[in-house]
Amino acid sequence: MNVNELLEEDSFDPKKLFDEENYSTLIINRTGFSKQENDTADLIETLLTEKITRQESEEIFKSLKEANAQIMLVSAIKAADNHEEKAKLIAASWESGLDFTNNFLFFAELVGNDDFQIAMEALTVVENIESQIDETILTKALEMAQPAQSKNADLVNELIQNIKQRIH
């Protein structure tokens, strides 16, 4: 296909590329990625497609766990502007069974989000962290959560209770 064919009126509509209902708008910066990292980024982007089966999702979660994709998932969550995509990526974080102990504060902060789905999925990630959390991190999380003004006050209260149970 040459440039003229691309510019023909019916052949290419650039507006379609920004149709959030049909295309993922998440772009993962892949500079310096290895083949495995590119494969992991592809898996994360695949999670955001509408036409993915539960079985395919389960396979992706398994592969993400095998790849220890915590850092890449957190980066993708931070990069996602679309609330639905962000919620899907947060859900993938706990559904993959990965350990997000090192990201406790990040997910605790997301519980204060006004979008219910984001807040609920983030709380689920926090609740699924079984490892010991450093008390200074728990104190920071508590100081952040207690004054939080969120539409999802019940979820924030659950977070506060979770943090208090972890403090010894």
Torsion from C-alpha of 41, 43, 49, 50, nearest 10 degrees: -150
pLDDT of residue 10: 47
Counting Cβ atoms within 10 Å, is residue 110 exposed (0-12), middle (13-18) or buried (19+)? buried
7-66 pLDDT per residue, tens: 444 443 444 434 444 444 455 656 666 777 777 788 888 888 878 888 998 999 999 999
Report if pTM > 0.85: no
Residue 130 neighbours by CB distance under 10 Å: 8
Amino acid found at 55: Q
Rg (CA), the chain: 19
Closest by alpha carbon to 89, among 134, 53, 121, 113?
121
pLDDT of residue 24: 47
CA 75 to chain centre: 8
CA distance 112 to 125: 13
86-102 pLDDT per residue, tens: 999 999 999 999 999 99
